[in-house]
Structure 1
């Protein structure tokens, strides 16, 4: 997949690029520091996702978004901006953005936005949709097609459904067994955040753990998913 970052602050662009690279999902990452440069890339390159700032040196990013929608270009958009005015947010949502991020934000929150994008992409790739799938798109419900996340009301305090879904998707891609460090590196979330979700998944009996003792150094834990890709709870 290809992504375009539209951002005129080089440091912020660097952060976005770094976060995208951590996701390990995009084969090409383009950058533009103006609306004109962004339009030139969109005219010449195939882009699946647009990370769009609003206040740019040559205009308003929402004008570019409006132009894209008029052309019915099939790409998804995540607005990333310092503009938090209700009218601006409303306009962005009106154009059907996947998410609206207010600067500054954490890598964890950024990865949640990417998770929403991939879920929408996967859902809309189907020939037809059931009501449940449409509800996911409209309401923002997050469900993995592999390890099914628990219902929102059963999540422990401080846990987020989108992050849980992302963690489970990453677990499905990891060789089994795995360590917390490996999961943190692959998912892009912090070691502390990953540990919280690992504890929760163990409590839900979706993971099993084993302590590994070594002759040198401290013992460490490895984890194995009890529901492997393609399997479902009954």
Structure 2
């Protein structure tokens, strides 16, 4: 697996819907579909065998409840992130999903943009967890939960002039770096914490104003660098 891609398992009882969701996922940078399951039993077996980073999980499966599948998988020592995709919108299903710790809940039918927004948020949150600082405090925790909030993306028309002043400053600072800047670079130049810089960078990426690039160094862990998106 590439460090830049989150492996994803798609679970839906309808073969055609699963294929559509697979196509959606693979259109979003940073994701790789490693399997499709159509039953609860297959979902559990494939999740345990493939160890995906993310599972897109339907609730209504022919041989069981997707929420029970989530309960089993999230109880593992190395649990995946779970994004529920279901036509069920009743309070019992939503409450159970929240209690289990799913990262998002998307009601069918939905379009590509709705899923892409949530996948981008999941990728940003996953990257934050991977690079979690040993001295993390409340600010880092707040930043993590902020990352899970999807933001609409419009790569063709980033409305830079209507952004908050600090966001504009971060955007302009990125534009001054020809080779791309890291969150630490931005923090130092703008005079904000690294966690705050990362939160602003994620917002700018979500609206299509900047693009994320991975630079590999000696340690093997890629460094996240941001540059202005020029269409």
TM-score (ref. length: structure 2): 0.65
1:195 paired residue number: 156
Counterpart of 2:18 in structure 1 is: 13
Task: Structure 2: state its 5+ residue gaps.
Answer: 1-5, 191-231
What TM-score results when the alignment is normalised by the length of structure 1? 0.64
Secondary structure of 1:67's aligned partner: helix
Secondary structure of the residue that 1:163 maps to in structure 2? coil
Offset, 1:130: 2.4
Q: Is the contact between residue 98 and residue 113 of structure 1 (CA under 8 Å) also seen in structure 2? A: no
User: What is the alpha-carbon distance in structure 1 between the residues aligned to residue 175 and residue 19 of structure 2?
Assistant: 35
**CA positional deviation for 1:87:** 1.1
For residues 163 and 56 of structure 1, the distance between their equivalents in structure 2, rounded to whole angstroms, comes to 30
Question: Cα–Cα, structure 1 residues 103 and 226, in superposed 2: closer, same or farther, change >3 Å?
Answer: farther
Q: Is the 8 A contact 2:26 2:32 kept in 1?
A: no
CA–CA distance in structure 2, aligned partners of residues 21 and 4 of structure 1: 11
Secondary structure, aligned partner of 1:195: coil
2:56 is aligned to 51
In structure 2, the residue matched to 1:183 is none
Aligned length: 170
Structure 1 residue 226, shift from structure 2 partner:
4.8
C-alpha spacing 1:106/1:46, structure 2 compared with 1 (3 Å): same
Q: How does 1:173-192 map to 2 (within 5 A)?
A: none
Whether the aligned pair in 2 keeps the contact of 1:98 and 1:116 (CA below 8 Å) is no
Q: Would the aligned equivalents of 2:12 and 2:61 in 1 still touch at CA under 8 Å? A: yes
Question: What is the alpha-carbon distance in structure 2 between the residues aligned to residue 100 and residue 34 of structure 1?
Answer: 19
